[in-house]
Chain A
Amino acid sequence: MSERTLSRHVAVVGVGESAYHKRGRAPQDEQGLALDAIHAAIDDAGLRPEEIDGFASYSDDRLDPLALAVALGLPELRFTNMVWGGGGGGVCAAVANAGAAVVAGLADAVVVVRSLAQGGFRFGQALAGLGGPALSGSMAYVVPHGLMSPAQTVALRTRRFMHEHGVGQDVLAAIALACYEHAQHNPRAVMHGRPLTREAYDGSRWIVEPFHLYDCCQENDGSAAVIVTSAERAADLRHVPVLVLGAAQGTRTGFDLFGHFSDPYATANFELPARHMYEMAGLGPGDVDVAQVYENFTGAVLMSMVEHGLVDPEEVDDVLTPENLLWTGGLPLNTSGGNLAECYVHGLELVVEAVRQVRGTAVCQVPDAEVALVAGGPAAAPVSSVLLGR
């Protein structure tokens, strides 16, 4: 077997999204939102619906691929795939799995889709009441102490990271401010027209220290979709192909998802996939022109950026400033507003934005962006990352 790699063999050729809504406000169900996003992505690519032959998703998405295939009029469904693990940890892995299917000849054009309509289901809500009549395993040692939410879990990891590296609250504020500023330029963003000031950030209520309200992602109704096909096919389509340069998923096996009992502790869990992604791409952190880093909570963005080598942990206070994180700065972050301020589509909206940056068609376009990083679902297991570029 020759070299086994996805790198530069597959491309993202179409991106689309539904209208984005506040939680519980979508007039459609999750399938209706998804079909809007998928049709938009097919149109964007210049493909015909019947050329689609696979679906990939993550986070136990509730869509039914067969129902989608019927609704889209697909003659054949050759590939379906779901990444294990909750949250957005699987978002880039779903893109990679779509690419792997294309390279392996299992499918020709795979839609990666995620859809959330939280009127009926809430994601990331307290875990109380789940797990049946009794608690066992790590949950037995955390839930009775009131630890039930991802915000609390990430707050504990973030606090330890801030202690170990002397990081202050200003960095968390800077991440929130940058995301909100980008959303003011993005008409799709749910927080468009809702600018955030440092005073408003500081004055917002604590959810769990060190996280204010604005350190936490929105909950939304919306869907996004991207289409992955071969680099050869991509060359004939509408847009400049956005190649998958490197991709990886995984977790350190010692990572304790629900408990807090093992090392590494103060981590977003990207050490392993970040290394594998860069190795596949033959690139390093210095090659990244723009970063889309999943914000469940700002503290996780901070740790994710460190673990992808974008900032030295001892220089965080100096580098992660509001100005530097804007699209006009030295380390542009979440240039469409991301989960905090565009729409919480479990990070697939970040992949859409990364594609637009590489094409040169983003609203907050980073000049000459050639390589875009997406980091999905920090502090979950598995987590995943992808490098996209020309």
Chain B
Amino acid sequence: MSDRSGRPVLTDGPLPSPRPDGVDQPYWAAAREERLAVQRCDDCGRRQFPPESFCRHCRSTTSSWVDVEPAGTLFSWARVWHPLTPSQAGDVPFVICVVDVLPGEVRVLGNLVDPPEGDLPIGAPVRAVFEHHDEVTLVQWELAPDGA
């Protein structure tokens, strides 16, 4: 995941940008400051990701942004060997991981940085690594040290 050009290295395509309605702008702003922020519904209290203009649980249209602990457990993973873009060719294999941050409420997806070889331990604790690029900060993940 080295940052050679100021762009995330795994895509040659468009970069994330806040939706026209601005609903997800606080997420990207928080990542820039190395925080993991999610929406919390003002009515039912559930937290959700990705951001949306309504609560997926109760359909309320009012929510607030809250920080959550940038840590979780490894929910699933896939090690990519076949590069899909020219920019990926130098970085395979790389690992895509799904992380349970708040089980039942917040699950996120990123890359597992410095993964060990072989099968990866689903259920193991992971913590966030904030990867800064010129235009965007990506929330990545690493296996937590034993006892973390």
Contacts and interface: CB of A to CB of B under 8 A. Distances in A.
Q: Do A and B bind each other?
A: yes
Interface of A: 126-138, 140-149, 151-152, 155-157, 159-160, 163, 205-210, 254, 259-263, 265-266
Nearest to B19: A136
A146 B76 contact: no
Q: Chain B interface mostly helix, strand, loop or mixed?
A: loop
Interface of B: 8, 10-20, 24, 49-50, 56, 75-82, 84-85, 88, 91, 93-94, 96, 98, 104, 107-111, 122, 136, 138, 140
A142 B76 contact: no
21 contacts: A134-B15, A134-B16, A135-B13, A135-B17, A137-B19, A138-B50, A140-B17, A141-B109, A145-B96, A145-B140, A146-B84, A146-B91, A151-B82, A152-B78, A156-B96, A160-B75, A205-B81, A206-B93, A207-B82, A262-B56, A265-B98
Closest 5 CB pairs of A and B: A146-B10, A128-B13, A140-B16, A126-B84, A134-B17
A340 to B, nearest CB: 17
Contacts of A141: 16, 50, 108-109
A254 B107 CA distance: 14
A217 to B, nearest CB: 14
A159 B14 contact: no
A157 B76 contact: yes
Contacts of B136: 144
A260 B110 CA distance: 10
Contacts of A137: 19, 50
A163 B76 contact: yes
A156 B98 CA distance: 8
Contacts of A260: 76, 98, 107, 109
A128 B12 contact: yes
Contact of A135 (B10, B14, B88): B14
Contacts of A133: 14
A133 B75 CA distance: 31
Contact of B79 (A126, A209, A261, A265): A209
Q: Give the interface centre of A127, A145, A157, A266 by most chain B CB atoms within 10 Å.
A: A145
Contacts of A159: 76-78, 122
B16 A147 contact: no
A198 B8 CA distance: 38
Given A146-B88, A163-B122, A208 B80 contact: yes
Contacts of A205: 81-82
Contact of B111 (A145, A207, A210, A266): A145
A210 B88 CA distance: 19
A267 to B, nearest CB: 12
B80 A259 contact: no
A162 to B, nearest CB: 9
Contacts of B111: 145-146
Given A160-B76, A208-B82, A143 B94 contact: no
